[in-house]
Structures are given as structure tokens and as C-alpha cells.
């Protein structure tokens, strides 16, 4: 089945496609959704607005493509112990927050939530939810009490990165281990790691 947005004619230039997405990501992170424009993205990518509009009719379509293209390292699917797996997922999350302007993009999408809720939803699906699901599964495999609320623990662990980001010191390198140790000390018994 073909994409209904693709028209017959000259094939798309993949280098220009990548340049548009990279320029869009930079501008979204630096300027925010409200201040970025198709004109400024086209200029930064070394092309014209009509060329950009052949790919993305609106700024929202461009931003959706940017979010879909964010290069993030997939979280690990396994580790020697359940606790080591949880730690690896948190370290992966931390690494991805540093690799892409995720926090700046998230801030912009939160500011636009009322007008463009679909963009924040896409960010949640692309960046957050797969990690939360994997994190809950890894927590479930561990030695936590049966009464532990895995969803609340996963939210606290992930949320601590956002909370720590807005402090004067930012997120320290050892944050994944420090925050995990609060809910799951390294010497917590079988399966602890």
C-alpha cells in the first residue's frame, strides 16, 4: 500500500529529509513549538518552504515527524538480575535524555498540549511508554513485596529524572543507581543483583 501523501514525480532526497528533521528538532528544542516556523526550518535545512511543504503540510505534521524520528537507544530487554535490569533501563533513559533535546522538546509540547494534544501523546508513546512498560515488567520480576504498586514505583523512578532536571545541579551521572537504591537497595536479597 502506498502513502497517500506521496505524489508521483521525482524521488525524495533522503539527505534533505534528514536535514529537515534535524533542523526541526533543533528549532523545537531551542525555540519551542510556538516560535519555530516552517520558514526558519526550511532555511536552516538549506531548502525552501515549498520543498518542506511537499513533505509536511503543517508545522504540526513536521513536529510529529520530528518526534517519530528522534534517535533514541532502545532500552535493554534483559540483564543478569531483575535489579540490574531495572538499573539498565534507568541508565538507558538517562542516556537518552542527554542524547536528544528531550527535555526541551517535552517542555514545548507541554506548552502546546491544549492546542496540539496529539503531539504530546506521540512523545509519550515514542519516548516514555515503552520504557515504563519494560520497567514495570523488570520490577515485577524482582524481590519487591507483593503489595508493591509497580506503576507508582515506575512513575517515581522516571519522574525523579524530570524533577532532578529542574534543580540547579541537573541530573548527576550516578542518579539511576541513587534513585533505584531508595526503593530497591542493592542488598535487598534474592534477585537483587
Q: What is the pLDDT of residues 150-177, one digit of tens each?
A: 999 999 999 999 999 988 888 999 999 9
Residue 147 lies in a domain: yes
Percent of the chain exceeding pLDDT 90 equals: 50
User: Are 101 and 176 members of one domain?
Assistant: yes
Q: How far apart (Å, rounded) are the C-alpha atoms in residues 32 and 105?
A: 7
pLDDT of residue 67: 86
pTM for the model stands at 0.77
User: Are 49 and 27 members of one domain?
Assistant: yes
- Domain range holding 173? 82-183
Residue 125 lies in a domain: yes
Distance in Å from the first CA to the final CA of the chain: 48
User: Are 97 and 59 members of one domain?
Assistant: no
pLDDT of residue 6: 52
pLDDT of residue 74: 82
Asked if residue 192 has pLDDT above 60, the reply is: no
Mean pLDDT of the chain: 87
The three cell numbers of residue 192 are 537483587
User: Are 29 and 53 members of one domain?
Assistant: yes
pLDDT digits (tens, 9 = 90+) for 3-44: 555 555 556 788 999 999 999 999 998 888 989 999 999 999
User: Are 174 and 86 members of one domain?
Assistant: yes
Q: HEC states along 129-154?
A: HHHHHHHHHHHHCCCCCCCCCHHHHH
pLDDT of residue 88: 94
Q: Which of 36-45, 75-84, 97-106, 154-163 has the lowest mean pLDDT?
A: 97-106
User: Are 142 and 99 members of one domain?
Assistant: yes
Q: What is the CATH number of the domain that holds 61?
A: 1.10.10.60
Residue 2 lies in a domain: no
Asked if residue 55 has pLDDT above 70, the reply is: yes
pLDDT of residue 127: 77
pLDDT of residue 190: 46
User: Are 89 and 166 members of one domain?
Assistant: yes
pLDDT of residue 187: 79
pLDDT of residue 56: 94
* Of residues 102 and 110, more confidently modeled: 110
Q: How far apart (Å, rounded) are the C-alpha atoms in residues 46 and 19?
A: 8
Count of domains forming the chain: 2
pLDDT of residue 1: 46
Residue 191 lies in a domain: no
Amino acid at each position: 500500500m502506498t502513502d497517500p501523501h506521496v505524489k508521483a514525480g521525482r524521488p525524495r532526497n533522503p539527505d534533505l529529509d534528514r536535514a529537515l528533521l534535524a533542523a526541526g528538532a533543533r528549532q523545537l528544542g531551542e525555540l519551542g513549538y510556538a516560535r519555530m516556523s516552517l520558514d526558519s526550518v526550511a532555511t536552516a535545512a538549506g531548502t525552501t518552504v515549498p520543498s518542506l511543504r511537499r513533505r509536511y503540510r503543517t508545522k504540526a505534521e513536521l513536529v510529529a515527524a520530528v518526534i517519530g524520528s528522534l534517535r533514541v537507544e532502545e532500552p535493554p530487554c534483559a540483564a543478569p538480575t531483575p535489579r540490574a535490569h531495572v538499573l539498565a533501563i534507568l541508565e538507558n533513559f538517562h542516556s537518552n535524555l542527554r542524547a536528544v533535546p528531550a527535555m526541551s522538546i517535552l517542555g514545548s509540547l507541554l506548552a502546546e498540549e491544549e492546542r496540539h494534544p496529539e503531539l504530546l501523546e506521540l512523545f509519550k508513546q515514542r519516548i516514555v511508554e515503552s520504557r515504563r512498560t519494560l520497567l514495570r515488567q523488570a520490577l515485577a520480576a524482582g524481590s519487591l513485596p507483593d503489595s508493591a504498586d509497580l506503576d507508582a514505583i515506575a512513575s517515581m523512578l522516571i519522574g525523579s529524572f524530570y524533577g532532578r532536571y529542574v534543580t540547579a545541579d541537573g541530573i548527576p551521572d550516578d542518579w539511576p543507581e541513587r534513585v533505584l537504591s531508595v526503593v530497591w537497595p542493592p542488598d535487598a536479597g534474592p534477585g537483587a543483583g
